[in-house]
Amino acid sequence: MSGITPELVAATAVLVLVAAPVLWLFVSRYFRLKEKELELEAQTQRDWAALQGKTLDARLTALETVVATLGGAVRQQLPQREALEAPHDSQIEPGRRERVR
């Protein structure tokens, strides 16, 4: 046996001519399937983000409604703002905590 025989060349050529299209078919279908999976996953994430946004908006609306409803009642129960304000520096003598009148 010396080198490459014509039968070996013919067998290799047939193998390449048959195997290459089959391999191409499997690879193209595999990547098409992967692309569809990625698109589905991206769509699912977009839908999830939209749902989270709607949920957050609903919660915010509910909180705003509660604050608006209770806002008047809470303001009535709180002491007057003037009573809570600290006196200005010019009205306090050093070492004293009371206002000078």
CB 81 within 8 A of CB 89: no
pLDDT tens by residue, 63-88: 989 888 887 666 666 666 655 666 56
Q: Given this model, what pLDDT does residue 74 score?
A: 65
User: What is each CA distance from 21 to 15, 18, 25, 26, in whole angstroms?
Assistant: 11, 6, 6, 9
Q: Given this model, what pLDDT does residue 66 score?
A: 87
Structure tokens at 61: 């609306």
Q: What are the extents of the domains in the chain?
A: 6-91
Average pLDDT over residues 9-35: 95
Q: Higher model confidence: residue 48 or residue 100?
A: 48
CB 92 within 8 A of CB 100: yes
Structure tokens at 86: 């600290």
Q: Given this model, what pLDDT does residue 68 score?
A: 86
Q: Given this model, what pLDDT does residue 21 score?
A: 93
**Residue 30: pLDDT over 60:** yes
